[in-house]
Structure 1
Amino acid sequence: MSKEYLATLKLIQNSIKENLSPPPDLTVSEWADKFRVLPSETSAEPGQWDTSRAPYQREIMNAITDPRYEDIVIMSSAQVGKSEILLNGLGYFIDMEPYPIMMLQPTEQAAKNFSKERLAPMFRACPSLRNKVSNSKSRDGENTILQKSFPGGFVALAGANAPSGLASRPIRVLLADEIDRFPASAGGEGDPLSLAEKRTTTFYNRKKIKVSTPTDKGTSRIEKEFESSTKERYHLPCPSCGHEQPLKWAQIHFESVTHACIECGSMHTQFEWKNQEGRWIAEIPDALKRGFHLNELLSPWRKWEEIIVAFKSALKNGKEELKVFINTSLGEVWEEEGKEVNEHELMNRQEDYEAEVPDGVNILTAAIDVQDDRFEIEVMGWGKSKESWGIEYHIIPGDLKRPQVWDELSEYLSRTWSKRDGKRFGIVGAFMDSGGHFTQEVYKFTRKHELKRVHAIKGASAKKGENVPLINGISRTKVVRNYLISLGVNDGKNRVLSNLQQTDFGPNYCHFPKGRGYHEQYFNGLTAERLETRYERGIPYNVWVKIRARNEPFDLRVYNLACLEFLNPNLELEYFQNEAKKKKKKRRVRAR
C-alpha cells in the first residue's frame, strides 16, 4: 500500500468529517423507500422502490447499517431480490456514508457486466445518485466501467479471478456477490475473498456483505459463512394456530398447492401464509456474524405452482437438474451421494441392442480424440431428456503425419447406422480435440468438414475452484476459419459423472452395447478419473485426478455432451411426432 494512496485516503476521510454534514438517521430500507427508483431496463416492476413488496428484505438491509455487526451473510435462492439488496446497500453508502467501496464478482467480465447492466441503470434512475456518479463515458478519468468515483469515496468493481483488482485498495465496505463461484485462488495470491477482506482492516467501522446461492456441501463458501453466523430464517405464523415457522419445501402439498403447518397440520395457500406478519428468528443469536437464509417459497415474484412444476421437471430430467433446483430454488447445498463410478458396474449394464441404432435414439453425435498414432472416436445416440446410447467406440491407428489416416477419419464420419425399421442415421455433428501435436491439421480438417458440423475444441483454462461452463466460448478466427469451441472440461466431467450414476432408464441414463468397441479397456478409461476435494490455503475445491493413464473414453463422453449442447437439437421432436401420429390414428379408429 503506497504512502500516496494512504495520504489520499486520509484526505477523503477528513473531507467527510469537515465538509459533509452528519448522515441522516436512515436505515438502508428507509433510504431505499425514499430514494431508490427501479429502472425499466432491469426491473419487471419499475418505479419507486417499496420494501413492503418483499418484507423479509427489510431486516437484511437494516443489518447492513447495524454497528453491532461487521459481517452480513445471505445464503439464498434465486428470485428473492438478493441483488437488489446489494444495490440498495451500495446506493445508501454512496449517498449517505461515502467511503471507499469494493463490489467483488466471480470474474472480471462479470464485474464489467454488473457495472453496465445493473449499476449504470441504477445511477441514471435515482436522482440522489445521478449527480454524484458521473457516466463512465464522460471525460472524467476517475470514472471507468470498473471504478466509479463520487464525493467522499469510490466504488471499485473487481473479479475474484483477477488478483490485480484486489491489491492495494483500502476499502471500508466490501460487497461480495456469488462467492460460491469464486476460484480457490486469485492467481497465486491466495483466496480472493480473504484478500478482499484484508483491504478493510484499516477501517474500524468496516462492513463485509457476502451473498451467494450455495453449491456443493463441503466446498460451498456461503454455507461455511452461514454456519458461523446467527443462522436466521424468516418465520411466519400459521394462519390457523399462530405457530411461527419458516416455509419449508417438505411441507408443500403439490395437489392443493398449499403449505402444511408443522404444528397443527392446517394447510394454507401462499397468499394466506404471506399475508401474515413475519420475523427473523436466529438459531445462534450470540454469533458475531449476522446470517440470513432465503428460499423461493417466500418470493413475491414466484408462484408456488411454478416452483412445483420446476421441481417435477428437474426430478424427471435427472440429478443435474435436481441439483440446480436444490441450489437455486431452495437455496440449499447439494450433497453428492457418490463421487465416482465403478467400471465393473458399468460393464454389467451392457445390453444387446435390437439394431445398430436403438429405437429411443433421435440423433447421433461423434467425438474425436487426436493422439500421435491414432484417432479414438465415440459415436453416441441421444434421445428424449438426454437419454444416451453408446453406438460405437472406434480406433483408427496410423501415423497422423500421413494423409491416408485423415482420409480414413473423413470416410468414417460420413458413414451411417440403421434402426430396425431401416431408417438410417448419419452423424449430425462432431467435436474434435485440437490440443495435441496436430493443432493446425485439426483446424484444416474441421475447416474442410464445416458443412458436416465438425468443429475443433480446446479445453478452457480455469483457476482452482473456478466454475467454467461446458460451452465456455465460441470463436471464429482467420487461423481456424471455422468455429473453435472453448470447453469447461471440469463442468463436463461433473455432468458426465452425474449421468453415469443414473441407475434407471430415462433422463440422462447411459446405455452401453455389448461389443462394438465397448470392452474392458473402454470402461477402465471411462472411469480413469476421480473427483477429489483439495485445499488451497484452507479453501476447499474439487479437482479431477487421474487414477489410470488412459482416460480418452472419459474425455470423449465430455466432448459428445458438449457437441449436443452446442447443436441444441429438439430431442423431443421425434417423440412428439410419434405421439401425434398415434393420437391421429386413434381419432380415425373412433371416427369409424
Structure 2
Amino acid sequence: MRAKLKKAWKKWTPPERIGSLDWGLKYRWLSPEQTSMPGRFKDDLFPWAKFILAAMDDPNVRVIVVVKSAQIGWTDGIWNTFLGRIIHTDPCNVFILFAKGEAINKYVDKKFNPSVRATPALRELIDVDSQKKNGNRAKFKRFPGGSLTMEGANSPSNIKSDSIKIACVEEPDDCSNNVKGQGDSVYLLGERLKAVPGSKLIKGGTPTIKGLSRVEEDYKATDRRTFHVPCHECGEGHVLSWENVIWDTDPDRNDEIFGQAVIESAVYVCPHCGTEWDDDQKADNVKNLYEVIEGTPGPDVGFYINELYAMTDGSRLPELVKKYLKAQHKFKQGDDSELIGFFNNTLALGYEYQTDAPDEEALEKRCETYRENSVPAHGLILTVGIDVQPDRLAVTIWAWGRGEESWLVYWGELAASRGVTDTTDPVWTELDTILFGTYEHERGYTLRVTAAHIDSGDGNTNDAVYHYVRTNKNRGVKLRAIKGSKTIDAEIVTTPKKVDVNSQTKAAKYGLQVWHVGVNKAKDLIAGRMKNTGNGPGRMHWYQGVRRDFFKQMLGEIKAPSRTQRGKLVWQQKAGAPVEAWDCTVYATHAARVERLHLKTAAQWDAIEADLAQGDMFAPPVEPVAPKQPVPVTVNTTKPAPQTQAAKPSLEDIARMMHED
C-alpha cells in the first residue's frame, strides 16, 4: 500500500524545476561501462559545461552550435546530462540525428544505456534491458510524457517524420548534404522544429575541411562564444591556442620521428606576460575560465572549445606535442591524414588545403568591356548550361572559339512563379527566349545557340526537364538532358547508352537519352583554366557588369578528400556557398565537348567563321535577345520575346538528330 501511495504521489507531484547542471550533480551517476571514473557526476574536469548547459536550459535560445574537439566531455558530460534532466523533469519528444546508423548502436550501448542503468532517477522511467517493453526498440525509447528517437542521416523519411521539440545533431559535418536528392539532412531536421513552440536545435561537432565544414559555418551565424582562461600571473584571459605551446630542443637528440624535440619539456606560454604554465598550472587556470560573447547576441548561441582545455592524462601537453610531431613526420612523407586529424580532433579547426586558385577580387579585375548578351570577335559557337532548382532556372551562355577559348555571354537566373515542376510555368517560356533567340556578334552577324545541356539529376524536377527536352528537340538547338556521373574518375563525355523504350525508367518513357557528365574532370579543367590570364587557347573571359555573385559561385567548391571513396579527391561545395554559376559552366563545357569543339582544326574554324559572315539564307528574321546592362538582382527580369520560328536545320544537323533519336 505504501509503495502504491508513493507511486501515486510521484505521478501527481509537479516536476522539479532544476537546471541541467544542478540536476546532474544531484541525480546523475556514471557507470564503469562509460567512464574510467565511475560514481557521482562531477563537473570539475570540464568547467565549461555549466555555460553550455545553461544555454541548453534557456527557453529563449533556439539554436546551439558547439564546435568542439575530442576529450571535452561533450556526449557523456554535457549532452547526456541535459537529456537526463529532460527525461526526468521536463519530458518531451527528443530526436538525435547521427551521420550513420552504426553510430546509433555505439551511442546506445556505450553511452545512453549505461547512463540510464547507473542513474536511479532514469532507471525508473526507461527500461533499457527489455527492448520491446512499452514499445521500446533499439532506436526508440519511450518514457512518461515523451520519447527519444535516434536515426541516421541517410534517409529523408527518417528525418521528415513526426514533429519534435528538441533535436540534436551529432557531427553535422559527417551528415548527408543531399539525402537521396531531397536536400540537406540537417536543414530538413530544422524544418521539423518550426511548427513546435519552444523547440531547440543543438549541433555538436568536430570541423573537417576549412570552407566545407558545416559546423564551422553554422558557428559563424551565432553569437560566437569562446572561453577565456586567465593567467595565474598577470590575470589576463585569452582563448587557448596551439601557437602558445612550446618545447625545448636538444641538438644531441636525433629521433626519426621527433627529431631534436624534448617532448617532456612542453609548456603553455601566456601570450600577455610570457609566463610558462605547466599542465597543473594550466588545469588550475582552466577551472577559472569565463565566457566571452564575440558576436551579436541573439537566439542562436555558439561555443568553441579545443583539447587544450582538457584536463585528462591523455590530453597533457607532452602527449599533444607527441601527437603533433607524429602528424608532421607523416605529412613530410606525403601523408596528411594525421595532420588533418590533429587540426580537427585536437584543435577543433577545419584543415585548410593549400590552393593556387585566384580569389574573387582577382577574377573581377579580369572583366572585359564587351556587353552582356553580345559575343566578342573570336567567339563563334554558343553553348548553354542550365541548372534546375525547384524555384528557378540558372543559366550561363558561353561563346567558344579556337583552342576552346571561351567568353561568358550571359549569367543569370529565371524565377519560377509556380515552381519548375509545373511545365506550364512562364519560366520555361523565358528559357525559350534564351535558347531560341539570336545574339549580336561584334563583327556584325548573329549567332544562335548550338547546344544546351540541362541538368536532370534532381529526382523531383527531372520529369519537367524530360518534358522540356522532348517537346523542344526539333527547334534547331541540340537540347540534351544531363546528370552528373557517380564515378569520380569518369571522363567529361561518355557516350550515352541507348534507352530501351520497353523499360520502366522515366527516361525510357519519353524515349530520351540522358548524358552523364564526368563532373570532377570537367571541374578540374575549368579550375585550371580560371588561373590563366590573357588571350589564347583555354583562356576564359567575362564581361564587365556581370552579376557579382558570379565570381563567388565560380569559387564555391574546393577539391578535398571524398567522404565515401578513400584516397580520392573530389570537388565539394563550401558550406553555405551557392554554386549554380559554376555548375552551369560545367554543363556548358560538357556541351562544347559533346560538340567536339576541342577537336576542330584551324580549317574547320575558318569554315565556321566564313559561314557566319555569309549568313544563313534559309533562316527567317528572328528577334534578337536584347543586350542589357545587368542589375544586381537574384533573378533575371528580362521579359520573354515573342515566340519565333527556329532556323532551318542543316543536313548535318538532321543526320545528327536522327542518330541521337
Is the structural similarity TM-score above 0.5? yes
Contact 2:213 2:575 survives alignment (8 Å): no
Is 1:532 the counterpart of 2:604 in the alignment? no
Q: Tell me the amino acid that sits aligned with residue 279 of structure 1.
A: Y
In structure 2, distance between residues paired with 1:81 and 1:239: 25
Change (3 A) 1:96 1:339: farther
Summarize the alignment of residues 79-478 of structure 1 with structure 2, pairs less than 5 Å apart: 79-84=71-76, 85-135=78-128, 137-255=130-248, 256-276=265-285, 277-301=288-312, 302-318=315-331, 319-338=336-355
- Greater mean deviation of Cα atoms: 98-107 or 28-37: 28-37
Partner residue, 2:259:
none
Question: Aligned with 1:135: secondary structure?
Answer: coil
In structure 2, distance between residues paired with 1:95 and 1:253: 46
Change (3 A) 1:339 1:149: farther
Residue 233 of structure 1, CA deviation:
1.4
In structure 1, distance between residues paired with 2:574 and 2:207: 18
In structure 2, distance between residues paired with 1:120 and 1:243: 42
Contact 2:214 2:575 survives alignment (8 Å): no
Partner residue, 1:47:
39
Change (3 A) 1:201 1:136: farther
Question: Aligned with 1:290: secondary structure?
Answer: strand
Q: Tell me the amino acid that sits aligned with residue 137 of structure 2.
A: T
Scaled by the length of structure 1, the TM-score of the pair is 0.56
Change (3 A) 1:223 1:139: closer
Question: Aligned with 1:275: secondary structure?
Answer: helix
Q: 1:80-117 deviations in whole A, cap 9, x for unaligned? A: 11112111111111111100000111012222332222
In structure 2, distance between residues paired with 1:492 and 1:173: 30
Q: 1:159-199 deviations in whole A, cap 9, x for unaligned? A: 11122221221110001111110011222321111111222
Q: Tell me the amino acid that sits aligned with residue 275 of structure 2.
A: S
In structure 2, distance between residues paired with 1:316 and 1:20: 63
Contact 2:173 2:215 survives alignment (8 Å): yes
In structure 2, distance between residues paired with 1:259 and 1:95: 42
Partner residue, 2:562:
490
Residue 122 of structure 1, CA deviation:
1.2
Contact 2:45 2:310 survives alignment (8 Å): no
In structure 2, distance between residues paired with 1:28 and 1:196: 24
In structure 2, distance between residues paired with 1:27 and 1:540: 44
Change (3 A) 1:539 1:123: farther
Contact 2:211 2:574 survives alignment (8 Å): no
Contact 1:107 1:162 survives alignment (8 Å): no
Residue 333 of structure 1, CA deviation:
0.8
Partner residue, 1:568:
none
Q: 1:427-450 deviations in whole A, cap 9, x for unaligned? A: xxxxxx9xx9xxxxxxxxxxxxxx
Contact 1:136 1:148 survives alignment (8 Å): no
- Greater mean deviation of Cα atoms: 107-116 or 207-216: 107-116
Partner residue, 1:442:
none
Contact 2:223 2:300 survives alignment (8 Å): yes
Change (3 A) 1:229 1:139: closer
In structure 1, distance between residues paired with 2:134 and 2:177: 33
Change (3 A) 1:143 1:115: same
Change (3 A) 1:167 1:236: same
Question: Aligned with 1:253: secondary structure?
Answer: strand
Identity of aligned residues (%): 26
Residue 39 of structure 1, CA deviation:
1.0
Residue 60 of structure 1, CA deviation:
0.8
In structure 2, distance between residues paired with 1:140 and 1:176: 27
Change (3 A) 1:221 1:55: same
Change (3 A) 1:190 1:271: same
In structure 1, distance between residues paired with 2:146 and 2:17: 20
Partner residue, 2:23:
31
Q: 1:385-429 deviations in whole A, cap 9, x for unaligned? A: xxxxxxxxxxxxxxxxxxxxxxxxxxxxxxxxxxxxxxxxxxxxx
In structure 2, distance between residues paired with 1:310 and 1:201: 43
Is 1:66 the counterpart of 2:105 in the alignment? no
- Greater mean deviation of Cα atoms: 164-173 or 308-317: 164-173
Residue 137 of structure 1, CA deviation:
2.9
Question: Aligned with 2:133: secondary structure?
Answer: coil
Question: Aligned with 1:118: secondary structure?
Answer: helix
Bigger Rg, which one: 2
Residue 26 of structure 1, CA deviation:
1.5
In structure 2, distance between residues paired with 1:179 and 1:81: 18
In structure 1, distance between residues paired with 2:160 and 2:17: 33
Change (3 A) 1:66 1:182: same
Question: Aligned with 1:34: secondary structure?
Answer: helix
Contact 2:177 2:186 survives alignment (8 Å): no
Q: How many residues align?
A: 355
Residue 540 of structure 1, CA deviation:
8.5
Q: 1:520-546 deviations in whole A, cap 9, x for unaligned? A: xxxxxxxxxxx3234899688999x99
In structure 1, distance between residues paired with 2:181 and 2:306: 35
Q: Tell me the amino acid that sits aligned with residue 254 of structure 1.
A: W
Q: Tell me the amino acid that sits aligned with residue 300 of structure 1.
A: M
Residue 135 of structure 1, CA deviation:
2.5
Contact 2:131 2:138 survives alignment (8 Å): no
Q: 1:36-83 deviations in whole A, cap 9, x for unaligned? A: 111111111111110122111111112100122111111011111111
Residue 139 of structure 1, CA deviation:
4.1
Change (3 A) 1:188 1:248: same
In structure 2, distance between residues paired with 1:168 and 1:155: 14
Contact 1:232 1:280 survives alignment (8 Å): yes
Question: Aligned with 2:44: secondary structure?
Answer: helix
- Greater mean deviation of Cα atoms: 98-107 or 29-38: 29-38
Q: Tell me the amino acid that sits aligned with residue 288 of structure 1.
A: P
Q: Tell me the amino acid that sits aligned with residue 291 of structure 1.
A: G
Residue 323 of structure 1, CA deviation:
0.9
Change (3 A) 1:269 1:535: closer
Question: Aligned with 2:238: secondary structure?
Answer: strand
Question: Aligned with 2:337: secondary structure?
Answer: helix
Change (3 A) 1:270 1:535: closer
Question: Aligned with 1:187: secondary structure?
Answer: helix
In structure 1, distance between residues paired with 2:238 and 2:577: 36
Q: Tell me the amino acid that sits aligned with residue 308 of structure 2.
A: L
In structure 2, distance between residues paired with 1:328 and 1:254: 21
- Greater mean deviation of Cα atoms: 95-104 or 127-136: 127-136
Q: Tell me the amino acid that sits aligned with residue 170 of structure 1.
A: S
Q: 1:107-153 deviations in whole A, cap 9, x for unaligned? A: 12222332222211111111111111123634425100010000000
